[in-house]
Homo-oligomer: A and B are copies of this chain.
Amino acid sequence: MTTTVRTPAETVGTLGERALIARIRERLAPPPAWLLVGPVDDAAIVARERNAYDVITTDACVEGIHFDRGFVPPKAIGHRAVAANLSDLAAMGAQPRLILLSLILPPALSLAEFDDVIEGVLEACGRHRVTVAGGNITRSPGPLIVDITALGTVRPRRQLLRTGARPGDLVFVTGSLGGARAGLQMCEFGAESVGTDSASPKGRYLWPEPRIRTGLQLGRQQAATACMDLSDGLADGVRQLAQASGVGMEIDADALPIDANTRQWFEGRGKDAILEAALGGDDYELLFTAAPRRQGRLRSVQRTTKTVTFTRIGVVTGDKATVLVRGSRRDPMPEGFQHFLGEP
C-alpha cells in the first residue's frame, strides 16, 4: 500500500506518465535475482531457468466488454486481468514468472481507482510469486484497459497441450462451473450476494483463482493427455479441445459440478442450470483429459492440490462430434461465446 497523501479529486490526468510509473514502482516487491533489468529501462532482461522452455501469453480486459466499472471494483479489475493470464499459463502446465502490465487509462480515472487497480494486480501477482517486470502506460480516449502479457516456464515433456486427447480418455474439470456467470448476473441485477467469499458466485466472478498448482502438477506427473482453461466456458472448451485433438467428446450433463448457490440462482430465474453452467465463461477452471490407466497419477495430483476437486464429466470418442448427454437425450454441445459473432 502506498502512503502517498491524496485528495479525492486527483485523477491520473493530473500526473505525468512517469509519475504514474514511479507510483507503481514504489509498491513493487524487491525483484528476484533472475530479473537482471527490471522496469527501469527500454525492456526487461530475464535470466533463464536451466532446462526449461519459455511460455508466453497475452490477454486484455476492456471496460464495457469484459467488465463494467459500475459494479466491478477497481481492485477486482486488476485481479481479474492477472488471473486471466495466469490461467492460460496454468493450462500449459507452466510456472508463471513475470507479467508486463500495459495500462490504457482514461485521464479522468481517479488516482484512488488507479491505486486500487494496481493493488489488485500486485496482490494477485504476489499470491503466485509473479514479478511485475515492466509495462507501459498510455492515455485512453475512452475505455479503461488492462492488457497483460505473462511469461512462465515449463520443463520439456511437462507441458500440457490441447492436442493430446485420445479416444477412450476420460474428461475432467476442476472445481465447479457456472459460478462466475451467476455472480456476474447477481452483480448486474444488483442482487444481494449469498456470500462475499471467493467461493460465492460473486466471488467467483470478481476474484477468480487460476489453477496454477493443478496445472503444474498435471504436467509434472504427466497425468493429463490434453488441457485448456475455461475462460470462455465449458461448451467452448469442449469444442476447442476436441477440435485441437481431432476427436469427439461425450459430456454427461448430470455430472457437471455446479454448486448449490449457483444452481439456486439459475433455477430461481427459470433457467436451465446445466445449460447456463455449460455456457458460462470466466470460471477459469481447467478442462483436461486423462488416460483411464493413469488414474493413479490423477489421485496423486489431487493429493497435492487438496482444495481443488476433479470431477469426471465425460469421455473422449473417436468421431468428431461433441455431445451433451442428458439421460436419453443426446444434443450437440451448444456454441460457446465468441467476441464479435453476430454483431453489426
- Given the contacts A54-B151, A104-B60, A134-B57, A338 and B17 also touching, CB distance less than 8 Å: yes
Inter-chain pairs besides A48-B53, A58-B135, A102-B147, 20 sampled, C-beta below 8 Å:
A12-B340, A16-B338, A17-B338, A37-B92, A37-B159, A41-B91, A41-B163, A41-B244, A42-B91, A45-B53, A46-B55, A48-B48, A56-B149, A56-B151, A58-B136, A64-B141, A102-B102, A139-B339, A139-B343, A140-B143
Let me know if A191 is at the binding interface, CB within 8 A: no
Size category, A interface: 35 or more
In the bound assembly, the distance between CA atoms of A229 and B57 in angstroms comes to 26
Chain B residue at smallest Cβ distance from A140: B62
Q: How far is the CA of A62 from the CA of B56 in the complex (A)?
A: 23
Q: Is A137 in contact with chain B by the CB < 8 A criterion?
A: yes
**A159 contacts B58, C-beta separation under 8 Å:** no
Closest to A154 in B: B45
* A24 → chain B closest CB, angstroms: 14
Q: Return chain B residues, CB-CB under 8 Å to A255.
A: none
A1-48 contacts to B, CB under 8 A, are 11-18, 20, 36-37, 40-48
Instruction: Contact check, A45 vs B140: say whether CB atoms are below 8 A apart.
Output: no
A118 to chain B, nearest CB (A): 15
CA A53 – CA B151 in complex, angstroms? 13
**Within residues 289 to 344 of chain A, which ones have a CB less than 8 A from any CB in chain B?**
338-341, 343-344
The complex places the Cα of A136 from the Cα of B343 at a distance, in Å, of 18
Which residue of chain B lies nearest to A49 when distances are taken between CB atoms in the complex? B48
**Which B residue sits closest to A91, measured CB to CB?**
B42
